[in-house]
Chain A
Amino acid sequence: MSDDGGVPRIAVVDYGAGNLVSIDQALSQVGARVTVARDADGLRDADALIVPGVGAAGPAMARLDGRGLTEPIRAWIAADRPFLGICLGLQLLFERSDEDGATTLGVIPGRAVRLDGAPTLPHIGWNQVDRRREHPLFDGIRDGADAYFVHSYAGAPEPSVADELVLATTDHGARFVSAVARGSMLGVQFHPERSGDDGLRLLANFVTIVRRAPTAALWAA
């Protein structure tokens, strides 16, 4: 790791909306050191990157662009460095969002679509995360465990990539993708930092994945 005996440093991207206290506290509690990244400099020396966030895609992309973070995030994922997108942070990985027509990061083929046939919208509350395949991100977490969701849109990957990409789905009127993985790029539609003990377990699993990944020093070399 970058320093102090194996405590991974995780950069959490702050682009001006919402609550970073919970994610900071949750990651600290499971053994990571958190730095808040407000620009590209904030990613330096980080072992992993988390893009959290709620709200609409268009304003979020505008803020990432304004802070010079869009290209560094794309490059980070292209290099297969450890990455976790949470909620909007997962939706931004797709090519665009139906919510406001925003062009998003485009690292996953597909787009964010409104939840179809949902009995209530936004989808707010605890719902089951049903796994499609096993992954270290879910070690020690029961299949079908409840997690906390707050959203109206979800990423819909192109069918050609869905099988290899989708880790879990959830039902709210219809099935939507609630977790993805491709190499070191991970994403969850729910909020692990607000999902009680199972959420903390998932973040601890992410920290373990980061520990096993090549270090920031190696990437810099």
Chain B
Amino acid sequence: MLCRRVIPCLDVADGRVVKGTRFIDLVDEGDPPELAERYAREGADEIVFLDIGAAPERRGTLLDIVERTARRAFIPLTVGGGVRSVPEMRDVLRAGADKVSLNTAAVADPALIDACAARFGQQAVVVAIDARRTGTGSWEVVVEGGRTATGLDAVTWAEQAVERGAGELLVTSIDRDGTGSGFDTVLLRAIADRVLVPVIASGGAAGPADFVAAVRDGGADAVLAASIFHRRVHSIAAVKVAMAAAGLPVRRTPGMAA
């Protein structure tokens, strides 16, 4: 049976891992390849890099980080942040990424999803959706790190992205991100029930029980978190122990009792 994945996310700015609350107040948390290797050793099922930097040389810095990581950690690597074209996606894959996550660029030009899926296959295209609750019980897509509202309904956009060739959806609740108040399982469920592709839950993890809820209540296939792992609040093994105890299939990891 397919295991539910636990995925540490490394927000990368100008060559360093950072984490902020709601994408602001960034704090330096380490060297990306070094952290990725540590997580691979500790049982991460996959690594996600999100490049949130703004420096002009960010592209070259990112490709270097991707290649150094691919040479140290033998688990899948997804890279997002600022990929706007098929050639940019090609460069990231050739540097050693397995998947590329599209966000703002896909909202601005949805045909980018079709073009990337046609060239590299659906399985290499993750569409990241940052969603914010509206007052009317739905969710609106926001872009540019949560700063810009689009007017798009998040569930509708999720369905469109999959129709165009997204092989996976990375769904972040901007309301919950960095707050430690748990995943938005209602949002996750609304999307997971409408699509066949795997949904990765993001935004709001505080403890192992939140991971269980994202899968059981939200229907997520994988669960992503950043600061609780970086700051060693919880280990990957502890999260997997809780998921296994709740009857969810997980890949056995060092530090889990046999």
* Interface residue ranges, A against B (CB under 8 Å): 17-22, 25-26, 54-56, 59, 118-128, 146, 148, 150-152, 171-172, 191, 193-197, 199-200
Contacts and interface: CB of A to CB of B under 8 A. Distances in A.
Dominant secondary structure at the B interface: loop
Contacts of B4: 125
B121 A55 contact: yes
B79 to A, nearest CB: 11
Nearest to B97: A19
Nearest to A194: B76
Contacts, number: 112
A122 B2 contact: no
Given A55-B123, A194-B98, A196-B74, A122 B67 contact: no
Contacts of A124: 123, 167-168, 198, 221
B70 A125 contact: no
Given A19-B98, A171-B1, A199 B74 contact: yes
Nearest to A24: B71
A119 B3 CA distance: 12
B122 interface: yes
B21 to A, nearest CB: 29
A131 B75 CA distance: 22
Contacts of B133: none
Contact of A122 (B45, B98, B197, B222): B197
A193 B198 CA distance: 22
B96 interface: yes
B196 A125 contact: no
Given A18-B120, A59-B119, A194-B75, 17 more contacts: A17-B121, A21-B71, A26-B74, A54-B120, A54-B123, A54-B124, A122-B122, A122-B123, A124-B168, A125-B3, A125-B222, A146-B251, A146-B252, A150-B76, A171-B1, A191-B76, A196-B40
